[in-house]
Amino acid sequence: MEFHHISVMADEVIRGLNIKSDGIYVDCTLGGAGHASRIASLLGKNGTLLGIDQDETAVAAAKEKLACCICHTIVVHDNFKNLTAILARENITGVDGFLFDLGVSSPQIDDAERGFSYMHDAPLDMRMDQHESLTAYDVVNNYSELHLTDIFKKYGEERWSKRIAKFIILYRQETPIKTTAQLVDIICRAIPAAVRRNNPGHPAKRIFQAIRIEVNNELGILKKSFECAVEHLTQHGRLTVITFHSLEDRITKQTLKLMATGCICPPDLPICICGHKRQIRLCGKALTPSETELIDNPRSKSAKLRIAEKL
């Protein structure tokens, strides 16, 4: 399918990156290259854009979209958790700006066969990188009741986590859970009808989010990746991060806040013994989409953009 994705807060990202025409910029979540093409359009022939994505469909679409750019473009099929190795491989030592646009992209949601959506019946998959071995099928059919409950609570913040996990275990004792439709049906039966009637959102939304995060280890790689990006930023280089739910944003906020803090010793110590150095400054508070963007792209509703500058 065609990889078409509406870039969230594109204008704010461009302003946040403070682009120099001869700079080096890294889009760690390339997707359909919406943000990347905007960045590339502001780069001259001495500028460089490196795009990274773990989705092969996105990589193919991005290469095509960026083919006419006058700057030097590099598109890599990889995961940004390997950022240090990727930069070393491309002989890049200093970067003027990084972008992390977290979460799942619209084409991945809309492609029913990928199994990300609770609105389409499809095999339970949810892998962003099809070369990875762990799938949603494995999580749903092999994890223990306790493990399922834990990820539903931790990654989905689902009130009915324990009951849904119990219903999944009971169902799979009779037959494997192979499709998204089966899973949605189990979730709907597990959540009391009165609760479903009084909540406008889809009852499976939080559970699907939790499973997707588990399959792709979305939260586990964030802190280290942000720290790696800051380490490779040039002086006054910018780090921009777009998050789409509270768990991502909490990790982002806490990680950036720590890197923007100097001494972290207890206040009663007479001298600093931690040696912690301030690495960045935060460029204001988190930004959210404009009213116009919310109308044009409802999927941007939960987005937050955080910007930091290397000292």
302 shares a domain with 224: yes
Sign, CA dihedral 238-243-249-251, equals negative
Supply the pLDDT for residue 106: 56
95 with 236, same domain?
Answer: yes
Task: Give me the pLDDT at residue 1, please.
Answer: 43
**Domain interval for residue 243:** 10-103+219-310
Give yes or no: residues 252 and 301 share one domain: yes
In this structure, what CATH number is given to the domain that contains residue 139?
A: 1.10.150.170
pTM of the model: 0.82
Q: What pLDDT is recorded for position 147?
A: 96
Average pLDDT value over all residues in the chain: 88
User: 309 has which bridge partners?
Assistant: 238, 281
d(CA 87, CA 157): 35
Is 1 within a domain? Answer: no
If asked whether residues 40 and 72 sit together in one domain, one would say: yes
Dist. CA 274–CA 282, nearest whole Å: 22
Any idea what the CATH number is for the domain that residue 255 is in? 3.40.50.150
The pLDDT profile of the chain, 311 residues, written as one tens digit per residue, is: 445 567 889 999 999 999 999 999 999 999 888 899 999 999 999 999 999 998 888 888 888 888 889 999 999 999 999 999 999 999 998 999 999 999 676 555 556 667 778 778 889 988 888 778 899 999 999 999 999 999 999 999 899 999 999 999 999 999 999 999 999 999 999 988 888 888 878 888 899 999 999 998 888 889 999 999 999 999 999 999 999 888 899 999 999 999 998 777 777 777 787 776 889 999 999 999 988 888 888 888 889 999 999 99
Pair (249, 180) in one structural domain: no
What is the spatial distance between Cα 54 and Cα 132, in angstroms, rounded to a whole number? 10
pLDDT score at 170: 95
CA 308 to centroid of chain Cα atoms: 17
Are both 242 and 152 inside the same structural domain? no
Answer yes or no: do 95 and 239 share one domain. Answer: yes
223-228, Cβ contacts within 8 angstroms, sequence gap of 24 or more:
223/251, 223/255, 224/81, 225/28, 225/80, 225/81, 225/83, 225/100, 226/100, 226/252, 226/255, 226/256, 226/259, 227/255, 227/259, 228/83, 228/84
Residue 129's pLDDT is 80
